[in-house]
Amino acid sequence: MRLAQQGDKQAYGHVFQQITPILRRFVGNSLNHPEDVEDVVQEILISIHRASHTYDTDRPFKTWIFTIARYRLTDHLRAIYAKSEKGTDIDFDHMTYQLTSDENVTKCYEDREYLSKIMQSLPVKQRKIVNMMKIEGYSAQEVAQLMNMSESAVKVSAHRAYKILALKAAQIVEKEEWNKSNERVMKE
């Protein structure tokens, strides 16, 4: 990036070639449909290009790009929520937070607050691992390095966390269905 800021277009191109797959993986952790992912990745690339003058080469590059990426991704998600609040027909199958492996509970609840609520039920360490892997886009290896754990320990911890999340989600779904059936009985 230092070379790019000095006007080296080849270096600038190299930066984009290097970060694009990382961004794709980062965005892919929050969005399901490849077209949406590509769309947001392009938004982020444009933002990085437009903000290239704000990067100081003495500061870590990764933090800078991920701040921009997170901002644009949040913008995108916010736009989706805003549309859903207005009652626009949104295909929520397009979105997933990939917090459960077997069932996508967001199809039922479609609500970020809901996710953060069930995330609170996790122990701090597991919550941090899920957050890093599924929201911030770190790989298990990176999380292991950052948290001073072995990679397999991170994977096991993440797997347990997903199980807890799936269980919590299933309980809520069950409760909802029970409430609905009660309402039906009352009406009858």
Closer by beta carbon to other proteins, 47 or else 131: 47
Give residues 23-42 in contact with other proteins (rule: CB under 8 A): 38, 41-42
Q: How far apart are CA 100 and CA 162, in angstroms?
A: 5
When the beta carbons of 16 and 178 are compared against other proteins, the nearer one is 16
Stretch that binds other proteins, among 16-24, 76-84, 118-126, 143-151 (CB under 8 A): 16-24
Which tokens belong to 77? 């998600």
Q: Is 49 in the site for other proteins (CB under 8 A)?
A: yes
Q: Which residue among 30, 31, 43, 157 contacts other proteins (CB under 8 A)?
A: 43
Q: For residue 186, what are the β-bridge partners?
A: none
Size of the site for other proteins (CB under 8 A): 32
Our separate counts of H helices and E strands in the chain read 9, 0
Applying CB under 8 A, among 27, 31, 68, 140 the residue interacting with other proteins is 68
Q: Toward other proteins, which CB reaches closer, 55 or 109?
A: 55
Phi then psi for 31, rounded to 5 degrees? -125, 150
Candidate segments 7-15, 131-139, 147-155, 159-167, binder of other proteins by CB under 8 A = 7-15
18 binds other proteins (CB under 8 A): no
DSSP 31: B
Cβ neighbour number for residue 2 with a 10 Å cutoff: 11
- Note the Cα 5 to chain centre separation in Å: 30
Using CB under 8 A as the binding rule, whether residue 45 contacts other proteins is answered as yes
* Spatial separation of the C-alpha atoms in residues 102 and 118, rounded to whole Å: 16
- For the bound state, the minimum distance from the C-beta of residue 31 to other proteins, rounded and expressed in Å, comes to 15
The answer to whether 143 and 154 are in contact (CB under 8 A) is yes
The rounded distance, in Å, linking the Cα atoms of 149 and 25 is 22
Positions in the binding site for other proteins (CB under 8 A): 4-5, 7, 9, 12-13, 16-17, 20, 38, 41-43, 45-47, 49-57, 59-60, 63-64, 67-68, 71
